[in-house]
Amino acid sequence: MKTTSEPTARLLRIHGLVQGVGYRNALQAQATRLGLAGWVRNRSDGTVEALVAGPADAVEALIEWSRRGPPAARVSHVDDAPAAPPTHTTFIRETTY
């Protein structure tokens, strides 16, 4: 995807049935396809948390995707807030319990 907008970073918290359904891998693949940097991880409260950074239009596209997620997910809502960009340039996956 070619993007031309200003860079931005957002911290997402995805609620619903989002663990055990391939959500992290799917989000990582979507973010990579959009040319974004960041990370994604499971939280002990059952949510998925992600920091995404890159061109604003690509970040917005990922936020829209995150409201649906992969086919097995059942997203109830997504919280997002401005964030500082990550210090690394590749999308990595962490898990915290």
Q: How far is CA 77 from each of CA 4, 16, 32, 61, 89, rounded to the nearest angstrom?
A: 28, 7, 22, 16, 27
Residues serving a catalytic function are 24, 42
**β-strands 74-82, 92-93 pairing:** unpaired
Strand partners for 14: 48, 78
